Amino acid sequence: MSQTYNCEVAVVGGGPAGATVAMKLARSGVDVLLLERDRVPRHKCCAGGVTAAARELLAVDISGAVECEVSWLRASSVGGRAVSWEEDEPFMFTVSRERLDATLWSAALDAGARALDCHRVVRLEDAGDGVVLECETCEVHALAVVGADGAAGIVGAHMGWGRPRHVAVGVALELERPASPAGYSGEMVELMVGVARGTHGWVFPRTDTLSVGIECHNRQVDRAAALQKVVAYADLSEARVIRRCVHPIPSLVESGKVATERALLVGDAAGLCDPLTGEGIRNAVASGTLAADVVLDSVRSGGIDLRGYEAELEKSILPELRAGLLLHRVVSRVEGAAMFILEHREGARKTCIQLLRGETSYRQLLERVGGIRGIASLTGEARK
């Protein structure tokens, strides 16, 4: 090894979750080393959607990364109903992940964190009084480690954490953007059901491109065929393909081994993607904030024990993931009725926007409609 680094906390992964942890700990005076395997800025396989709720959680201004402010939503069933509406204020933004992650990386550095890109962690070892991280060109000694290195990250593997209970798959194409359609004054996001069982599609606007993809929750679905169905329905079959990517969308809906005495997982590494929308950034930032608080308390106490992090997840994030997964499973079985409700009930459309803005939650929605029985009653009426 050419060099050895010593720190109080090592954070593996320089995306929104890792940068949030590093920034918040550094601001509190903790000696943090942020490690990223790729060169920053780097390409990230992501549709680029950031809800208004997620943007509110970010501790830095990301205006420089925003490509489109979305105020128009179209929901459609392939071969069936469609409804669209426009809001006065944006409820979602599309961003350049290269610029977003670079902005957060810089914010962590400005806060006082040390950071090393192009440093891949290849092995972790418990060292009694800390953790040793072996990189390809150096060795890092830390009192504790935070894994923010994605769904198949090395920190989770070191902790013996298996697959989360529910893993969807996102498949996306970046297409050259044709001229914007007329008829609306703002940027539009399109969400599609009726694609395949347990699968929905999207079209997100970017500056010069469109992100077109599917979120598939059914292993039996032909994902390539489902994606082409979305492309054809959006009338984009002739658009030039710039990039294609596939990525897991993990949702941990039961408490799992995401924390030990000296290690914990955040963001996608902890399986905290929204099971209904597939969004990962909101819970990446939320879990990073929770983790930073737990790590800070532990470092200040003089005795490292990060296991309390799981209880913090159980208080806030995990119940919402369970509610989101429940809603997904119900709606995916009654897509036609759900589309009818959206088309004919302004309150349903308003609720969709409130969810994206963080003004209500999945749990509150379930309580408001009377749980599963209430949803069954609403969809039953819609079928009549």
Q: What's the one-letter identity of residue 85? A: W
pLDDT value, residue 383: 54
Q: What is the pLDDT of residues 361-384, one digit of tens each?
A: 999 999 988 877 777 666 655 555
pLDDT value, residue 376: 67
On whether the CB atoms of residues 262 and 317 are closer than 8 A, the answer is: no
pLDDT value, residue 369: 84
Q: What is the pLDDT of residues 286-342, one digit of tens each?
A: 999 999 999 999 999 988 999 999 999 999 999 999 999 989 888 888 888 888 889
On whether the CB atoms of residues 22 and 267 are closer than 8 A, the answer is: no
pLDDT value, residue 180: 61
On whether the CB atoms of residues 250 and 228 are closer than 8 A, the answer is: no
User: How distant, in Å, are the alpha carbons of 14, 59, 270, 309 from that of 23?
Assistant: 11, 9, 19, 18
Q: Does the pLDDT value for residue 159 go beyond 60?
A: yes
Mean pLDDT of 169-186: 75
Range with the poorest average pLDDT among 6-15, 174-183, 221-230: 174-183
pLDDT value, residue 382: 55
Return the number of other C-beta atoms located less than 10 Å from residue 77's C-beta. 21
Show the DSSP H helices in the chain as ranges: 16-27, 52-57, 97-111, 154-158, 223-233, 281-301, 308-333, 335-344, 346-357, 362-369, 371-383
Rg (CA), the chain: 21
Q: What are phi and psi of 250, to 5 degrees?
A: -85, 135
**Residue where the block lists tokens 């992650």:** 101
Q: Does the pLDDT value for residue 39 go beyond 90?
A: yes
On whether the CB atoms of residues 204 and 48 are closer than 8 A, the answer is: yes
C-alpha dihedral, 273 to 277 to 283 to 284, nearest 10°: 70
Provide DSSP, 139-167: EEEEEEEEE-S-TT-HHHHHTT----SEE
Arithmetic mean of pLDDT over the chain: 91
pLDDT value, residue 44: 82
Domains along the sequence of the chain with CATH: 3-320 (3.50.50.60), 322-383 (no CATH)
CA angle 361, 63, 74 (to 5 degrees): 50
Q: Does the pLDDT value for residue 105 go beyond 90?
A: yes
On whether the CB atoms of residues 145 and 131 are closer than 8 A, the answer is: yes
Q: Which one is predicted more confidently, 181 or 296? A: 296
pLDDT value, residue 54: 96
Strand 199-205 vs strand 209-216: parallel, antiparallel, or unpaired? Answer: antiparallel
Q: How confident is the model at residue 185 (pLDDT cuts 50, 70, 90)?
A: very low
Mean pLDDT of 192-212: 93
Q: What is the pLDDT of residues 266-296, one digit of tens each?
A: 999 999 999 889 999 999 999 999 999 999 9
User: How distant, in Å, are the alpha carbons of 20, 52, 76, 277, 353 from that of 93?
Assistant: 19, 7, 20, 14, 13
* Helix, strand, or coil (residue 213): strand
